[in-house]
A and B are shown apart, each in its own frame.
Chain A
Amino acid sequence: MDYTGYMNEVAKRREPLVIRELFGLQHGAPKDVVFLTAGAPNPETFPIVSGSLKLRDGTTLELTPDKMVDCLQYGPTPGYPPLIEQLKTITETIHTPPRWKDREVLVTTGSQSGLLMALEMMLTPGQTVLVEQPCYTGVLSVVSPYNPKYLPVESDGEGLVPSSLRAALASCSPHNKPKFLYTVPTGSNPSGAVTSEDRRREVYQICRDNDLLILEDDPYFFLHYDGKTPPTSYLSLDEDGRVLRFDSVSKVVSAGLRVGWVTGPRQLVHKMNLHKGSSVISSASMSQVVVSELLRVWGLEGLARHTAQVRQFYQNKRDSMLQAADKYLTGVCEWTVPAGGMFLWLKVLGVRDTWDMVMRRGLEGKVMLVPGHAFMTDPIRPCPYLRASFSATSTPIMHQGMKNLAELIQREKELQRMKPQQG
């Protein structure tokens, strides 16, 4: 595939820095070549010389002085080389992507920064943008300043709806075709849906027919609740090389380390790498070394054990939340059981829009959730949904929260009755 057509002018103008190529020469160069190139600080001046991280399972990760230098020095833009190798192994093992040799892996400062780079590589003002709806707010915040023409695609309990995708594409102007589809196929934020494999295959075909790239944002990949095997990723179906996949350690290892990675066609990942080089230069080296050491100590088996444990943990949380919802919100709200992720997506019955209910009266009602409007591409249309997070709340608090919510909704319905209908 030739990817130039997907790139905007800013991306096309990005060129490799000769300086970076010269730095690159240093790896593997003969010892007697004197490099006077890098504007890097001298490691002798680093004030931290060693480190030790104790894990919950009792093992200790030692950061030796050599490793600590790696932690504290600029690293290569694509990522800490041992970590790149490990991430490639993990990605290849889990997804066996077709055309593996045509792909690159780039470490990102959290998957959000990967998404930003991919989107800023392609967005032009006024462009048609295809996103599944409800849509992750982090993507809306990147896209909206470009004044896009949003084409939202419906999703239901089984994830993205292929017929809605077809209809959306049929409705768009031939002069302003979208370049990509953005989707969170596992445990979508906020809907909690996992797009079934059948649907993924159908969606892939539609994207193929319409020349679309697929931005597969999968931070909840390990947080799938039905069945032991993880869902089939778009990456694993990607015969054409049209998928940019965004992975993250944020939900399973640490959010604060800011380590994620993008896997995709070489030409596109190279462009993103250039953007990365002229913004953060490299992702935090220490974070990458820590994740790398963790993966080294765990191996693939240890990683599988840990993620299985994390999955069970969040599944239990989900079940507790559902119990609380069943108890207090039956007849008050509607919802489908989240098949993945951290959120319960509630439709409030009898309330046209939840924004004011939450933003103006939620505090008083002693419960705060996110009004569904935040996840919608239409800034005007009323939205009766709410997103409730179950990741970090105890069972008693969940019950209290659902009880408070039921009362808040009741008061809102009364308020609505007293107000004249607004057009």
Chain B
Amino acid sequence: MTVNKSQVTSVFWICEDVHYSLLKHQYYNRMNYSKYLSKVAARRKPSGISDMRKYLVNPSPSLVWLGSGMPNPTQFPFREVTVGLNDGEVLHISQDMLSSGLQYGPTPGYAPLVTQLKAMVERHHSPPRWSESNLLVTVGAQDGVSKAFEMLLDPGDYVVISDPCYSDALCMLASLAPQYLAIENDDEGMVPANLRAALKLAANSEEKRMPKALYLVPNASNPTGTTMGEVRRREIYAIAQEYDLIILEDDPYYFLTYEEEQNIPPSFLSLDIDGRVLRFDSFSKIVSAGLRVAFVTGPAPLLAVMELHLQSSVICGPMFSQVLVSELLREWGEEGFSRHTAKLRIFYKNQRDAMLLAASTHLTGLCEWTVPKGGIFLWLKVVGVKDTGPMIIERGITKNVILIPGKEFVVDSSKPNQFMRAAFSCVTPEQMMKGMENLASLIREEIALQNNQA
């Protein structure tokens, strides 16, 4: 299904409403989602028991329900829960909520939380196809992404990724044995010209296996820290339309960009007129990583398949965590949440600035880097070292500094790689200074070692 720009401009003179409805009609071409599914995903079916859930909606009070496999909540040993917040408030978790937290819940998530998250998505992204979309709570965003990969990819299927790419995504993909179109980045992320060229090549290859999925982290990407601007996002979306790709938008640092909230570039979800975006949001960096609460938003048919897998994988996510997050969001309201994320931005920006200071103090002349516009990572290029892998893995500990070698973020980790990822979220400015000092020493010794070996 392609976007025909001339058709858009030819109706432009008509007033907004009619234009929009014509546009909708023109492109209201329900995407055929079944063609994207892997063989296993295509065979997932609801269990007979889940069919019965519809009877639980407004049940008659005289209906005797003997269908559930739930344990009796009177046997759970917990009676009351309170949590103390950092602003001094105390949250009392009511009996009802505690019951929900301690019992099996619906696979898509604790209902009040799902409602809150839907409101959040609508508020932040106004997805063009919102009425045809759905939302699922996942056990962390990574679980959502891995289920999406498994839904879409059969061995040998192409997947489009960035080069470099989030290491855990590479790890998930490695087990699925896809073919990679790894698109080189610049300081805004994936380069559209490179993407186009790679897709053209794949289209012309003898295999005739087209990529189905494109995975990217558009804000404060892991590991490079780059943020993709609006123009670039629209270009990438247009290419995805041309080649009929599903876009996996992994956005855990959405609230950790250092711009003001209103200046964050529009998400792919907000641009998604076709219904080809699966968006992964996470509370891990902004509320808690350990609660394992995140969510995926996307076309209802694709989410229905993911829900089946999620159900057979965990039945439901940790309800206790979901109740806590829901209560926290309710306590905060929109304003409180904005206040909280504003504080986070300041905190991590200060961390970034301290890291940059440490880097420029000790690594000038040894490394190159661009200033991250968000997130928690500094991506360093060690100019004089051929391969940072052995330097870090074998010799880093002797110099009291450990970071992640760049080769962990590429498909072929056997190739020499000059990059390194330094995380600045959890270290103090003093530790950063020491760390960069140690790193400088490590690099100098490595260069000397290299010269001796030459």
Contacts and interface: CB of A to CB of B under 8 A. Distances in A.
Interface of A: 9-11, 13-15, 17-19, 22, 25-26, 29-30, 32-57, 63, 70-75, 109-110, 112-113, 116, 125, 137-138, 140-142, 144-147, 189, 250-258, 275, 277-287, 290, 294, 306, 309-310, 313-314, 317, 342-343, 355, 359, 362-363, 366-371, 373-374, 387-393, 397-398, 400-401, 404
A335 to B, nearest CB: 13
B377 A370 contact: no
A142 B83 contact: no
B151 to A, nearest CB: 11
Helix, strand, loop or mixed for chain B's interface?
mixed
A354 to B, nearest CB: 11
Contact of B291 (A284, A317, A388): A284
Interface residues of B, number: 113
B289 A41 contact: yes
Contacts of A277: 171
Contacts of A32: 400, 434
Contacts of B438: 34
Given A33-B400, A51-B81, A366-B60, A45 B290 contact: no
Contact of A389 (B42, B66, B86, B316): B66
Interface in B34-82: 39-45, 47-49, 51-52, 55, 60, 62-82
Contact of B142 (A22, A281, A400): A281
25 contacts: A9-B155, A11-B175, A17-B167, A19-B168, A34-B432, A36-B435, A40-B423, A40-B426, A43-B426, A53-B80, A57-B77, A109-B318, A113-B313, A140-B47, A146-B40, A252-B75, A257-B319, A278-B142, A284-B290, A285-B289, A286-B324, A359-B51, A370-B67, A393-B64, A393-B65
Interface stretch (B24-32, B96-104, B207-215): B96-104
Interface of B: 39-45, 47-49, 51-52, 55, 60, 62-87, 100-105, 139-140, 142-143, 146-147, 155, 167-168, 171-172, 174-177, 222, 284-292, 308, 311-321, 324, 328, 340, 343-344, 347-348, 351, 376-377, 393, 397, 400-405, 408, 422-427, 431-432, 434-435, 438
B171 A278 contact: yes
B79 A56 contact: yes
A55 B79 contact: yes
Given A22-B404, A46-B287, A367-B63, A34 B435 contact: yes
Given A41-B285, A145-B44, A284-B290, A257 B318 contact: yes
Given A57-B77, A253-B76, A287-B320, A367 B85 contact: no
A371 B172 CA distance: 38
B39 to A, nearest CB: 7
